[in-house]
Structure 1
Amino acid sequence: MAAAAATAASLFRVVIRRETTTSPLAGKKHRSSVRIPRFAVSVDRPPAPTSAVTTSPEKTNPVVKREEEGERAVDAKVKEEEEESKNRSVFSGMKRFLEESKVIIDEEKENGGGGAPRWFSPPDTVDCSGSWQMEDPPVLLYLPGIDGVGLGLTLHHQKLGRIFDISCMHIPVADRTPFTDLMKIVESRVKSEHQRSPRKPIYLVGESLGACLALAVAARNPDIDLVLILANPATSFSRSQLQLLIPLMEVLPDPLSLGLPELQSLMPGDSERMELGNLLKGLPLQNTTKELMEDFINFSPSLPALADILPKETLLWKLKLLRSASAYANSRLHAVKAQTLILSSEKDELLPSKEEGERLRKLLANSELRKFADSGHFLFLEGNIDLVTVIKGTSFYRRGKKHDYVSDYIPPTPTEFKEVLESYRLLNILTSPVMLSTLEDGTIVKGLAGLPSEGPVIYVGYHMLLGIELGPLVSRILTERDILVRGIAHPLMFRRNDAGLLPDLASFDSFRVMGAVPVAATNLFKLLSSKSHILLYPGGMREALHRKGEEYKLFWPEQSEFVRMAARFGAKIVPFGTVGEDDLAEVVLDYDDLVNIPLFKSLIEKLTAESIPLRTDATGEVANQQVHMPAFLPKVPGRFYYYFGKPIETEGRRHVLKDREKSNELYLQVKSEVEKCLAYLKEKRESDPYRNIVPRLLYKAEHGFDAEVPTFEI
């Protein structure tokens, strides 16, 4: 199964890292129902349909040209996205928040105080020009933090507005509504939305105070389908230094002044605050000094709005409100059954959010935790945080009772894809992958011109050690052919029997962003029915965690697991082989060795117990699904080779559905073709003058670092 081995790789930390001012209380968006493109690579707009590529072996491979055009198109879109968010600098999120808040506060002053807490729809989610909107989106209610303005998601409104129906809560500066009454306001809106759409979830996104409101409402309404997204919850208030401010604030003189330390505590993240501190101290910052100074100059006029948002009396009230909110929410955590995503900033200077995230994850049964190492308290105002990407990566987006990995899937944006591609940059440099494919007439060509343009298609192949071939394979197909391949993955990338030794689920967020789905017959059925391109490894974990001397040996089930379903939808089956793991590393301690060492045997048993068991009724080697990490020695890097065989048609072969013998014949044919692909590559790479990394580096030094390195003659 696709990406099963990425699981094992992550055991030893596979690291894949990661917006106009009008009156924000006005405006109600108008939605259009547009279906998301199946192979879209952009959340902003669908790409042009993929066209067939014809390749002549006598001429320069046009796929190379197509790949360059594809890269240029992606780069152009990335630049467009970067242009849209170019103001996301050190101060931009806070600056924008303060500017928009000032508009609201000025209006409240003109109207004599602002009135009672109320809901508004952000006007900057209205822009539907050139953008798709998710069909029948769920409601998202934003619950503000200590500021109460309701603009904490200002950097995310446009992207969130494409997949949610957003409303934000506004608590006027002069308002003194107690926590329990604020909770009833939210609860009333939740019940109203639930009555209107009882089959759809309701999202509650809360920061600090808002997170306590979300938890309280969820605890009181366990029968309503709620999804909570909590950023730095104030449930930790009793353990924070903020509580010490209450007696201090009562004796502070007016006006309350904000000095540099307080300003820095409001800045987006630790690294950015360090840069600001260095800047103000006059320390050199290499190439960033000019930009930071310009940012600070542009930001400075917005500072007076801080005192307007939180004057002394309001700040004192809000601190007391946090105290009561924290006590109320903590006393009812046991009653919270809602699906919950906790977002914790590890550099939060206002609340001990790092420790609180871990505590809540253990107390809330249906929860997941994501940590942000360099982020401050106001997480959503940081330019490097994309809430939509976080929701996609955690598979928290759904429009029904359960998340549907096909209908609820949102394809990666160019920026998201670029980040994933960058994580494989070193591997691509070290291995210079060679891609071959087969045209309909049987001609083998360099590039991926032989891959079918239209789905459904199932790519069936060999899983290299630790699934290390995955990144180059998926990214190259998307870059060169504009085809998003959905990998069938091991379920431990999505859920666990228990938390413990296995890598954190966050390790696999990028795989989910790129379309990985847990292995299940229903998911394969849905993907085929939607004419998707699917990546499947019948050998799964057993193949990717193979023993010493088992390179390029297939460990497939005795009976077909996919042929009859492929025939039902007339899907094309593309057999492929991947070679090169033995030129990158050598296994020195495999499962058979490790299981004989008591310490490692116990570790393997614990890891396997945490994982979701697969193929429990299978026989033979493929049934050996023990989770472990083989020890290996790296080699001087060789080269990766990929060969996609001639597509096998199942259209018109529906007899395979009922005839087990015929389906088994087709299954064995696919397996045989994969073995032929492997044999072909193993033989041909012997004549590749650039198989070793040294001649490849010399070639790049002469022709340019981005030059495509030649390979063997076909």
Structure 2
Amino acid sequence: MAATGGCVVFSTVVRSSQLTPSPNFKLNPSQRRFAVSSESQFATTVRTDTKRTTSFRENGIFKDKHKEEAIERVTENKQKNPYLLELERNESEENRSRKNLKDYFDESKNLIRSDGGRGPPRWFSPLYCGSRLDDSPLLLYLPGIDGVGLGLIMHHQSLGKIFDLWCLHIPVKDRTSFTGLVKLVEQTVRSENYRSPNRPIYLLGESLGACLALAVAARNPDIDVVLILANPGTSFEKSRLQPLIPLLEIIPLQYQLSLSYMLSSMTGDPLRMAMDKVVKGLPLQQTAEGLSKDAFAMSSYVDVLANILPKETLLWKLEMLKSASAFANSRLHAVKAQTLLLTSGRDQLLPSEDEGKRLLHALRKCEIRRFNDNGHYLFLEDGVDLVSVIKGASFYRRGKCHDYVSDYIPPAPSEVKKMWESNRLFMLTTSPVMLSTLEDGKIVKGFAGIPSEGPVLFIGYHMLLGTELVPMVMNLLLERNILMRGVAHPMMFTRKKEGKLPELSSFDSYRIMGAAPVSGTNLYKLLSSKAHVLLYPGGLREACHRKGEQYKLIWPEQSEFVRMASRFGAKIIPFGVVGEDDFGEVVFDYDDQMKIPFLRDLIKELSEEADTVRSGLNSEVNQDIHSPVILPKFPGRFYYYFGKPIETEGRMHELRDKDKAHELYLQVKSEVEKCIAFLQDKRESDPYRNILARLAYQSTHGFDSEVPTFEL
């Protein structure tokens, strides 16, 4: 099966449910199972959780009930795309309902007041988590030394859509030891595993909670546990917290200094947050007012933090963190669980960055995501989307193994907008021209010729380094509300060993947008789910072509995708793309690099780190992993042409014949070549092919305006 060389890809299945946040936070014993612990006693009550489901609909992320309003707004402002307006609307709804740091302190104060800081540790689930998916896995949140259990308050809504979320609350005056907490969590894990043996259990812990998660995983290697560890407290011996213990015991003033220090770690870097808001386009006056309010609230935050961590409790928690660190470190070798490490580059309490590197090699199944500009309290800082991190790392699953089709969660509006904004300059520079073909053979501008209903299989030419992907999939999404899923090279998903390839985190955005490893099984599942699927028969070989091979189709001889498409009656859409020769030229290719010994060794080393795609096929379509050297050119323009859809419905028995299948395969290849030839010819008459001409047009019509092109 062919692979893409590296692409941004999308799915067609999207959720349409909405959450209604509760204005108040309450414990909810009638809807959640509670585990209660003391040093000598453990008890569990039965949960009577009502089943909550979420409906799905295909083809798009935008809700039908808002489309009319979006179109009306576009009438008033014709320079804006209706789907961008819809993205902004949905993102605005998300932001309005999103909790913040102030909510953390307010609700912590209410929670402490409600239980008087007394009682044993117990589980709660926030009422405003909303409806979730069927068979959602259980996520147990294990807090840091604050113990309140509200550390995920900014993520409750998004997590509640895909997880059954329980949070551990440790009352202020509780003195359950670390081993007591381990037994409590362990009992809950075993109980829930017995209740749903095929459902994974996620343990999400930060600092002290991360030690707790590691300890439980080490003691229960036969249970399917997934660990998400944020700034683990396993580095306590090297931290700035350890010297506080003797000082707190003898100097009362040091207690207030400690709280102020911890608070500054929670509120992050004010200057960086202000700059982030300016970059996002918020007015300077609004940004200044927000910072003033934050500064004014600091004094009240210190008072609440003093209630969360009075001197005796802070001493107890620091001593517990010391023992927890030793306990977890002594059992790292026994941890078999799949683990995702989240480390902050500006953690003022723990040396988390260095600890992440150590744990990455100490744990068996471990990946890491680094947040270089964030502090210790990662989940209480703006700009961190925990669900996006989990999805991007392919850590979300509802069964024993991750399934790239059934476990896929479509991108949220904020994720799509982030992708759009991060590529906006490139799309402005390329100013893509999109053409498609109607059923009667008429060529039209835009995507009117693309079927709304799947399954649809896009087969085309893979431009140099896959540069055509972002404009194509983003414009298809924004103009037709169709999400495209692509099958991509395995190096974007797994590694056989660590080495010099880019970190897996560099491909997270592709996975968020629906990329799946290339395989017959994944193509089968995607087509059976009626997805719009992107497949490049030329794969990496075509995307990293040699000098003089631009627009040359380098396809294998096998008609591998034809019979799969006919099995589901998929429409095959051949397409061509031109414009790479207007942006760059290969000057140092694979053949040149293989002549130099140290580069030849590097290419071999890189290729050994990732799985191969086409073992056993001829060398013409195989490709070692490398990067050609490209000489940039004065930017031209990208042109896309989607040919007339080729029907395969009702031809399954016919195309079982290898000769018939190969005949259709050659037809598709010929159509792709015709699309490329058509674009190469027509672009010669485009008065705006040069970027200077386009900039001149946009300077008078607005930079969001569509630049004209050749006549059809």
Rounded to whole Å, the distance in 2 between the matches of 1:234 and 1:351 is 7
Report the equivalent of 1:410. 409
- State TM-score, norm by structure 2: 0.90
Rounded to whole Å, the distance in 2 between the matches of 1:641 and 1:301 is 58
2:97 pairs with 1:84 = yes
Report the equivalent of 1:14. none
Counterpart of 1:33, as a letter, is T
1:50–1:453 CA contact under 8 A, matched in 2: no
SS in 2 for 1:614: coil
SS in 1 for 2:255: coil
Q: Tell me how far 1:619 sits from its aligned partner.
A: 1.2
Relative distance call for 1:78 and 1:611 in structure 2 (3 A) is same
Counterpart of 1:659, as a letter, is D
1:249–1:312 CA contact under 8 A, matched in 2: yes
Rounded to whole Å, the distance in 1 between the matches of 2:664 and 2:78 is 35
SS in 2 for 1:604: helix
2:673 pairs with 1:675 = yes
Rounded to whole Å, the distance in 2 between the matches of 1:169 and 1:78 is 30
Q: Tell me how far 1:423 sits from its aligned partner.
A: 1.6
2:455–2:532 CA contact under 8 A, matched in 1: yes
Report the equivalent of 2:685. 687
1:70–1:482 CA contact under 8 A, matched in 2: yes
SS in 1 for 2:700: helix
SS in 2 for 1:156: helix
Q: Tell me how far 1:83 sits from its aligned partner.
A: 2.7
The number of residues matched between the two structures is 667
Rounded to whole Å, the distance in 1 between the matches of 2:483 and 2:443 is 23
Report the equivalent of 1:706. 704
SS in 2 for 1:370: strand
2:22–2:127 CA contact under 8 A, matched in 1: no
Rounded to whole Å, the distance in 2 between the matches of 1:50 and 1:350 is 48
SS in 2 for 1:288: helix
2:79–2:705 CA contact under 8 A, matched in 1: no
Relative distance call for 1:507 and 1:471 in structure 2 (3 A) is same
2:115 pairs with 1:115 = no
Identity %: 60
Q: What whole-Å deviation, never above 9, does each CA across 1:670-701 have from its counterpart, x for those lacking one? A: 01100000010011111111111011111111
SS in 1 for 2:494: coil
Counterpart of 1:107, as a letter, is S
User: How does 1:289-328 map onto structure 2 within 5 Å?
Assistant: 289-298=288-297, 300-328=299-327
Relative distance call for 1:581 and 1:698 in structure 2 (3 A) is same
Among residues 24, 33, 55, which one is paired with 2:53 in the alignment?
33
Q: Tell me how far 1:272 sits from its aligned partner.
A: 4.9
Q: What whole-Å deviation, never above 9, does each CA across 1:388-407 have from its counterpart, x for those lacking one? A: 11111111110000111111
- State TM-score, norm by structure 1: 0.90
Rounded to whole Å, the distance in 2 between the matches of 1:663 and 1:655 is 10
Q: Tell me how far 1:39 sits from its aligned partner.
A: 3.0
Relative distance call for 1:263 and 1:356 in structure 2 (3 A) is closer
Counterpart of 1:80, as a letter, is E
Report the equivalent of 1:159. 158
2:400 pairs with 1:387 = no
Report the equivalent of 2:18. none
2:576–2:675 CA contact under 8 A, matched in 1: yes
Report the equivalent of 1:533. 532
Counterpart of 1:448, as a letter, is F
Report the equivalent of 2:11. none
Relative distance call for 1:314 and 1:260 in structure 2 (3 A) is closer
Q: What whole-Å deviation, never above 9, does each CA across 1:58-92 have from its counterpart, x for those lacking one? A: xxxx9x9898322222222222223333x6xxxx3
User: How does 1:464-483 map onto structure 2 within 5 Å?
Assistant: 464-483=463-482
Rounded to whole Å, the distance in 2 between the matches of 1:430 and 1:455 is 31
2:259–2:305 CA contact under 8 A, matched in 1: no
Rounded to whole Å, the distance in 2 between the matches of 1:66 and 1:657 is 47
2:263–2:301 CA contact under 8 A, matched in 1: no
Rounded to whole Å, the distance in 1 between the matches of 2:239 and 2:527 is 52
SS in 2 for 1:708: coil
Q: Tell me how far 1:614 sits from its aligned partner.
A: 1.4
1:78–1:415 CA contact under 8 A, matched in 2: yes
Counterpart of 1:701, as a letter, is S
Q: What whole-Å deviation, never above 9, does each CA across 1:242-274 have from its counterpart, x for those lacking one? A: 111111111122793247951553334346578
Q: What whole-Å deviation, never above 9, does each CA across 1:166-219 have from its counterpart, x for those lacking one? A: 111111111111111110000000000000000010010001011001101111
2:105 pairs with 1:98 = yes
Relative distance call for 1:349 and 1:327 in structure 2 (3 A) is same
Rounded to whole Å, the distance in 2 between the matches of 1:307 and 1:50 is 49
Rounded to whole Å, the distance in 2 between the matches of 1:221 and 1:245 is 33
Report the equivalent of 2:641. 643
Rounded to whole Å, the distance in 2 between the matches of 1:262 and 1:210 is 20
Q: Tell me how far 1:498 sits from its aligned partner.
A: 0.9
Report the equivalent of 1:187. 186
User: How does 1:272-287 map onto structure 2 within 5 Å?
Assistant: 272=271
2:236–2:242 CA contact under 8 A, matched in 1: yes
2:476–2:482 CA contact under 8 A, matched in 1: yes
1:267–1:273 CA contact under 8 A, matched in 2: no
Rounded to whole Å, the distance in 2 between the matches of 1:461 and 1:394 is 28
1:271–1:374 CA contact under 8 A, matched in 2: no
Report the equivalent of 2:352. 353
Report the equivalent of 1:631. 629
Q: Tell me how far 1:48 sits from its aligned partner.
A: 6.5
Report the equivalent of 2:280. none
Counterpart of 1:569, as a letter, is F
Q: What whole-Å deviation, never above 9, does each CA across 1:370-420 have from its counterpart, x for those lacking one? A: 000111111111121111111111111100001111111111111100101
Rounded to whole Å, the distance in 2 between the matches of 1:25 and 1:233 is 27
User: How does 1:611-626 map onto structure 2 within 5 Å?
Assistant: 611-623=610-622, 625-626=623-624
Report the equivalent of 1:124. 128
2:456 pairs with 1:452 = no
2:344–2:378 CA contact under 8 A, matched in 1: yes
Rounded to whole Å, the distance in 2 between the matches of 1:255 and 1:495 is 48
Report the equivalent of 1:142. 141
Counterpart of 1:333, as a letter, is L
Q: What whole-Å deviation, never above 9, does each CA across 1:131-169 have from its counterpart, x for those lacking one? A: xx3111111111010001111111111111111111111
1:343–1:370 CA contact under 8 A, matched in 2: yes
2:551 pairs with 1:557 = no
Q: Tell me how far 1:425 sits from its aligned partner.
A: 0.9
2:447–2:479 CA contact under 8 A, matched in 1: yes
- Stretch moving more, 319-328 or 260-269: 260-269
User: How does 1:480-491 map onto structure 2 within 5 Å?
Assistant: 480-491=479-490
User: How does 1:539-618 map onto structure 2 within 5 Å?
Assistant: 539-618=538-617
1:142–1:204 CA contact under 8 A, matched in 2: yes
Report the equivalent of 2:81. 68
Report the equivalent of 1:4. 5
Relative distance call for 1:296 and 1:328 in structure 2 (3 A) is same
1:583–1:637 CA contact under 8 A, matched in 2: yes
Q: Which runs of 5+ in 1 are unaligned?
A: 8-18, 52-61, 277-283
Counterpart of 1:160, as a letter, is L
Question: Cα RMSD between the aligned structures?
Answer: 2.3
SS in 1 for 2:250: coil
Rounded to whole Å, the distance in 2 between the matches of 1:586 and 1:313 is 68
Q: Which runs of 5+ in 2 are unaligned?
A: 9-20, 32-48, 69-74, 276-282
2:112–2:308 CA contact under 8 A, matched in 1: yes
Report the equivalent of 1:281. none
Counterpart of 2:557, as a letter, is E
Q: Tell me how far 1:496 sits from its aligned partner.
A: 0.6
